[in-house]
Amino acid sequence: MIQFYDAFGFTDRGAASRAGFFLTGLWWLLFSLPLFRYVKDSAFVHPPLPMISGFRQYLKTFAEIRRYRDLLLFLLAFLFYNDGIQTIIVVSAIFGREELGLSQGTILGTFLMIQFIATPGALFFGRMAERWGARNSVLISLLLFSAVTIYAFFMTHGYEFWILGFVVALILGGSQAISRSLFASLIPPGKSAEFFGFYAISGKFASIFGPMLFALISDLTGSTRQAILALIVFFIVGTILLVQVDVARGRRMAAD
């Protein structure tokens, strides 16, 4: 719709882009209606807590997570490598435009391809996790993400951006899905909602550091190549922390 805006009756790409946001809102509304209509809350729902009380509960949950060494190590590893993954997704369009001179159509086409490749990629990593274990599968994805940052640093042609997008698509869905399942397996019974809430909120907090590092290095060096290569730090630190996670021990501690 954005690329062929005139065929849809829009005056320019800006108008088509704004309409895209509107359609996204309608999409969310449409697919939330069954939840609002058919899912009923049967349990008592606590009233919303003030911000201070909510922050205290957040710290209380963190103190409880610290009792489980492998769960804490995995959470820290996830915060690092997930920040790197999310930053690559966010800045890839900037990198393609600034360093490779790619058109908006090429960038949009690459993002569209990623949506179709990510699903079989997630299924492939699921099979890999069944055979080699969830932790090892995530470690493989981190090695591949590290290779992606190095490959991006040396890219000079537009077709290489498509290759980069293809590789990211293969490992993106798998790394995210397996990370969630691995985290779930380390959670003690009855704590899933609380710990996953902490998992989600902490991921949002940590997600500022990747874009901040990218922007800082881009500003200091004047090159997004240097900036995207620097993101390898997040995958290296994440890998070091994840290697120390003993999944079997963590599951035993959670079951006790």
pLDDT tens per residue across span 201-254: 887 877 888 889 989 998 888 888 888 899 999 999 999 999 999 988 888 888
- The pLDDT tens digits of the residues spanning 73-131 come to 998 999 899 899 889 888 888 888 888 888 877 888 888 888 888 888 888 888 888 88
CB 226 within 8 A of CB 106: no
Q: Is the pLDDT of residue 58 over 80?
A: no
CA distance 96 to 91: 9
Q: What is the pLDDT of residue 121?
A: 84
Torsion of CA 86, 91, 96, 100, to 10 degrees: -120
pLDDT band at 4 (very low <50, low <70, confident <90, very high): confident
User: Beta-carbon neighbour count of residue 94 at 10 Å?
Assistant: 16
Q: What is the pLDDT of residue 49?
A: 64
Q: What is the DSSP letter of 24?
A: H
Mean pLDDT of all residues in 18-46 = 86
Q: What is the pLDDT of residue 77?
A: 92
Hey, CA dihedral for 85, 88, 113, 147, is it positive or negative?
Answer: negative
Residue type, 23: L
pTM of the full structure:
0.79
**39 by DSSP, 3-state: which?**
coil
CATH number of this structure's domain 53-255: 1.20.1250.20
Higher pLDDT, 70 or 3: 70
Which residues have C-beta within 8 Å of that of residue 187, sequence separation ≥ 6?
Answer: 71, 195, 196, 254
In b/e form, how buried is each residue of 118-143, taking b as 16+ CB within 10 angstroms? beebbeebbebbeeeebbebbbbbbe
**Length of the chain counted residue by residue:** 256
- The pLDDT tens digits of the residues spanning 17-28 come to 999 999 999 999
CA distance 214 to 89: 12
CA distance 126 to 129: 5
Domain map of the chain by residue range? Answer: 5-38, 53-255
Q: What is the pLDDT of residue 61?
A: 81
Please report where in the chains the tokens 């290296």 appear, as a residue: 236
Joined together, the tokens standing for residue 172 give 């993106």
Residue type, 232: I
